[in-house]
Every structure is written in structure tokens, then in C-alpha cells.
Structure 1
């Protein structure tokens, strides 16, 4: 069984997307998403036209980014060593600090597309139990082997 990395990143917006103070962020979304789509190891990204499903699962004013990558290292390369970093460094301009974890990673079987409900389960597990091979962040990373052993 081949495992790949799924990730969820939540951001609590301080203002509606159409507010003038969000313009810089909004104007960079397509460029950064296209960069992710072309990055080494990228497999899939959650897209939603009207934001209804993510609002139902995570609440209003929550920006949801969920994707699947070949390896954790590929996601980290995109996050910290691409033009994405410049936008990431400005996150406090647009997003507020959250009481729950804003990010979670977990392994899925290759070919599996994670659902929002699955992602919510993982982030809730991280919040309740801390980092484990079932749900973790960049701070405490786990291998696919550890994930398999943990779930056995």
C-alpha cells in the first residue's frame, strides 16, 4: 500500500473576502494556487465555487485549503521555499489567531481524495491528543511507516 500526504490548512479571516483590505490576498490566490498545482509532488487540491460545504463543516469566515502531496518534503518545499512564503509571512494582515490548530497533516492511500469531514476529524484529533501519526504538523513529523504501525 502506497501512502501519500494529505493536509488541511484553516485560516479565520478577519474581514470578508470582498473587503478592500483583503485585496492583496485575493489578488494572489490564483497565482499561488497555480504554483502549488505545478509544484513537485502535488497531486490534488480541494476547490469549491461557492464555499457552502466548507462553511457547513468549519463555519463562516473560514478559508479552507486542503491538498494531497506525494511526500511531506514536497509540501514543505512549496510552503517555505517558493513564492508562497511571501504571502504566508503576511498572514497576520488577513487572518486571526485560532483557538484550535490551524493545520494538520495525515497519510492517505494513494488515489484517495480526503473529504472535509475526514479533515475535520483529523484536526479535532490533533487538538485533543496532540501530534501523533494519525494527525500531525510540520513541527513533529511522522513517516508513512509510523502511520501504518499506529493504525494497526
Structure 2
């Protein structure tokens, strides 16, 4: 097993209330898309609340219009393979039906030790880091990524 895994967060600002008719398709797709992620090659973990098994009740930055998706993957290739196929690809194509277009970064990635489960607070800090400093080994994008850090085997 690799000593480092890829954490990713992506946040989205809702255009409509989550229980609105405008978001019905999005809400209906949550369980199937999450099930695809859970079964995807290279998937490790995803944030889910205690209620319905997704993270729609968790509000990052104390913003009632923001949703958070936080997960851990084996590597960027596994994440990318999942993102651009199946139902996730279909949902991604419709994202602007449901979510506002924003100018600031809403997605970032970083390497974590295998077995680490990032918190929403940690994800928020990484996203702020990307927004303020641009891509670094501590917070990066698919377009500007960094390899996992070298880990001293004696640590």
C-alpha cells in the first residue's frame, strides 16, 4: 500500500434550496453517484453525515448555500477516471443547472498519509491556501499537481 493518498475537496454554491424542484435531479442522483464512487477503483473514503449517507447536511464556511464533497483516493488517476465516466460525468455536465458559477477556486487536492481522513476544517484551510497562494504541494489542482511527498521510512 502506498504511504500517501490523495485527498480532494470540492464545494459548490447552490442556486436553489436543496429541497426545491429545481434540484430534484441532483438530489435523485446523489445515492447512485456516491455508490459509483464507493465501488470505483482507487476510491478510499468519502465524507458522509450520520443521516442519509451523503454530506448535504454539512455546511462548510458556515454558509447555508455551500455543499461540500470531501474524499480520499489512491492517486489522481483514480480520481480522474471516476470523475469523467458514468453517472458522475452526466451530473458534472449539468452542474451549472444546479450550482452557481464562481470565480474563486472551489476544488483542491493534497496528499495525506494513508489512513488519514481529512476534516472539513482541514479541507477549508487547504482551499483557502490555494486561493491565497496558488497551487503548492500543500494545495493543488488537477491542472497543476504535485507528486506525493517523499516519506522517510524511518519515521
TM over 0.5: yes
Give the structure 2 partner of residue 26 of structure 1. Answer: 27
Query: SS where residue 10 of structure 1 aligns?
Result: strand
Moved more, 74-83 or 8-17: 74-83
Aligned structure 1 segments of 4 or more residues deviating by more than 4 angstroms: 50-53
* Distance change >3 Å, CA 121–CA 65, structure 1 → 2: same
Unaligned runs of 5+ in 2: none
Unaligned runs of 5+ in 1: none
* Distance change >3 Å, CA 40–CA 87, structure 1 → 2: same
8 Å CA contact retained: 2:56, 2:67? no
Q: Which has the higher helix share?
A: 1
8 Å CA contact retained: 1:57, 1:116? no
Structure 2 residue corresponding to 1:130, chosen from 123, 129, 134: 134
Q: 1:82, 1:75 → 2: CA distance?
A: 13
8 Å CA contact retained: 2:111, 2:149? no
Q: 2:89, 2:56 → 1: CA distance?
A: 28
1:114 aligned onto 2:141? no
Once the two structures are superposed, residues 60-86 of structure 1 have per-residue CA deviations (whole angstroms, 9 ceiling, x without a partner) of: 111110000111110000001333111
Query: SS where residue 54 of structure 1 aligns?
Result: coil
* Distance change >3 Å, CA 87–CA 52, structure 1 → 2: closer
Give the structure 1 partner of residue 67 of structure 2. Answer: 63
Deviation at 1:139?
Answer: 1.1
Deviation at 1:58?
Answer: 4.4
Give the 5 Å matches for 1:2-151: 2-48=3-49, 49=51, 54-55=58-59, 57-145=61-149
Deviation at 1:115?
Answer: 0.5
* Distance change >3 Å, CA 139–CA 52, structure 1 → 2: closer
Aligned residues: 147
